[in-house]
Amino acid sequence: MELTHFNHAGKARMVDVTVKDETKREAVAEGRIVMKPATLELVKQGALGKGDVLGVAQVAGVMGAKRTWDIIPMCHPLLLTGVNLEFTVDDAGNAIDIRAIVKTTGKTGVEMEALTAVSVAALTIYDMCKAVDKAMTIEYIRLRAKSGGKSGNFVRED
């Protein structure tokens, strides 16, 4: 078992995927941002028209997904064919759950694009709310599922 992102000299490279087939690929990533109840209340009101925090985070997440190859050094450029984000308010947990679904037809998977979309959306929520709550935490960013490609499907169970 070895890390494929390194060449024989142990230096980082962008893995050679030239001979891989183009297949339909999809990845789902998730994460959450926990905040004070009063902050969550402001975000929920925003959804009602006083300032749409989640609307801005949605746009940031989509744009972040597209720019993943330019942010993560060894990521391959890919032509994303679909990006969507969903936000769910978790009142009990004082949190907003974030989910990103990314699709492509290409030679490598879109796990990083989905994880980046979630991260950028969470950071944007932090930025929009930090004037009232600096103690928010971004938590549990993980890959939920992926499909397509030679390594096959992956579904996280927990």
Contact residue for a second copy among 59, 89, 97, 147 (CB under 8 A): 59
The Cα angle at residue 95 between residues 89 and 98, in degrees rounded to 5: 65
Residue 89 engages a second copy in binding (rule: CB under 8 A): no
Residue 150 engages a second copy in binding (rule: CB under 8 A): no
**Residue 148 Cα to chain centre, angstroms:** 18
Residue 44 engages a second copy in binding (rule: CB under 8 A): no
Residue number, 91 or 130, with CB nearest to a second copy: 130
Binding site annotation covers 74? yes
Query: Does the active-site annotation cover 127?
Result: yes
CA distance 103 to 113: 9
Interactions with a second copy, residue window 61-80 (CB under 8 A): 62-67, 69-80
Binding site annotation covers 112? yes
Residue 36 engages a second copy in binding (rule: CB under 8 A): no
Label each residue of 63-102 as H, E or C. Answer: HHHHCHHHHCCCCCCCCEEEEEEEEEEECCCCEEEEEEEE
Residue 51 engages a second copy in binding (rule: CB under 8 A): yes
Going by C-beta distance under 8 Å and a sequence separation of 6 or more, which residues neighbour residue 53? 42, 43, 46, 47, 125, 128, 129
Residue 97 engages a second copy in binding (rule: CB under 8 A): no
CA distance 101 to 144: 10
Q: Which of 16, 70, 90, 127 is catalytic?
A: 127
Binding site annotation covers 113? yes
Beta carbon of residue 46, minimum distance to a second copy (angstroms, whole number) = 7
Which residues line the annotated binding site? Answer: 74-76, 112-113
Which residues line the annotated binding site for substrate? Answer: 74-76, 112-113
